[in-house]
């Protein structure tokens, strides 16, 4: 398998299709409600706590628990509606990345289980070993969740020629979608 430092187009296309298939209309033209996306993938708990990593996901009998790094510990039960907790930009990306990990699972069964077919597709499209391909897939999918493709097609989002023409515009879009400027740059590129 050859190593490629750029994001392979097959992996980008796979991530886009996977996000569209899993979330469809839940990805709105403005800042996406990640709690709704998480619930649709059977994530029932978000634990904010001090971690050495940005985040992780745990498979449980009744779905998934996601942990994300925070200075304080807080447990958010996603079944308790409405969830009013605001996440930082970094936590939003981490949460979206961990939601993307669940796309590699069959959630139609009682205990979610990894889908070997999906993992093979990700590995093949990623042109790397499975762990690197899966992490790249989740990074790309997180970007598609946070800034859906149809959101970028609106003329009011991008400039009149469908481009970004200033740093101010990047900052404005980052605030609109509640993401970092880097996410906007990756999504537009």
Q: What is the pLDDT of residues 79-88, one digit of tens each?
A: 866 788 899 9
User: What does the pLDDT look like over 24-56, one tens digit per residue?
Assistant: 888 777 788 999 999 999 999 999 999 999 999
Instruction: Give the pLDDT score at 85.
Output: 85
pLDDT tens readout for residues 90-113: 999 999 999 999 999 999 888 999
Q: Rounded to the nearest 5°, which phi and psi values hold at 73? A: -100, 130
Phi-psi region of 54 (alpha: psi -120 to 50; beta: other; left: phi over 0): alpha
Tell me the HSE value of 50 on the side-chain side, using a 13 A CA sphere.
2
Q: Return the higher-pLDDT residue of 165 and 4.
A: 165
The whole-number pLDDT of residue 155 equals 52
- Tell me, what's the pLDDT at 82? 74
Q: What angle in degrees, to the nearest 10, is found between the helix axes of 9-23 and 116-126?
A: 140
Give φ, ψ of 56 to 5 degrees. -160, 165
Rounded CA-CA distance 51/98 in Å is 14
The pLDDT tens digits of the residues spanning 115-165 come to 999 999 999 999 887 789 999 999 999 999 999 887 776 556 666 666 777
Contact 86/178 with Cβ under 8 angstroms? Answer: no
Whether 89 shows a pLDDT value over 50: the answer reads: yes
Whether the CB-CB separation of 164 and 173 falls below 8 Å is answered with yes
Confidence class for position 3, pLDDT limits 50, 70, 90: very low
Mean pLDDT value of segment 58-71: 96
Alpha-carbon span 160 to 157, nearest angstrom? 9
pTM of the predicted structure, to 2 decimals: 0.90
Average pLDDT of the chain is 88
User: Could you give the CA distance from residue 165 to residue 172 in angstroms, rounded to a whole number?
Assistant: 12
71 strand-pairing partners = none
In this prediction, residue 1 carries a pLDDT of: 36
Give bridge partners of residue 106 from the DSSP assignment: 113
More confident residue, 55 or 5: 55
């Amino acid at each position: 398998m050859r190593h490629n430092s750029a994001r392979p187009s097959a992996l980008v296309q796979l991530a886009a299709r996977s996000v569209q298939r899993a979330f469809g209309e839940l990805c709105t033209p403005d800042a996406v409600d990640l709690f709704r996306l998480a619930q649709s993938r059977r994530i029932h708990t978000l634990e904010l706590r001090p971690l050495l990593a940005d985040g992780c996901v745990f498979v449980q009998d009744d779905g998934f628990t996601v942990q994300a790094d925070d200075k304080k510990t807080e447990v958010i039960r996603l079944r308790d509606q409405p969830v009013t907790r605001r996440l930082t930009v970094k936590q939003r990306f981490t949460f979206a990345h961990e939601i993307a990990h669940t796309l590699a699972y069959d959630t139609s069964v009682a205990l979610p289980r990894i889908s070997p077919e999906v993992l093979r597709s990700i590995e093949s499209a990623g042109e790397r070993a499975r762990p690197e391909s899966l992490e790249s897939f989740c990074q790309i999918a997180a970007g598609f969740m946070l800034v859906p493709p149809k959101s970028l097609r609106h003329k009011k989002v991008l400039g009149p020629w469908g481009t970004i023409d200033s740093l101010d515009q990047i900052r404005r879009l980052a605030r609109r979608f509640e993401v970092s400027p880097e996410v906007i740059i990756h999504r537009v590129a």
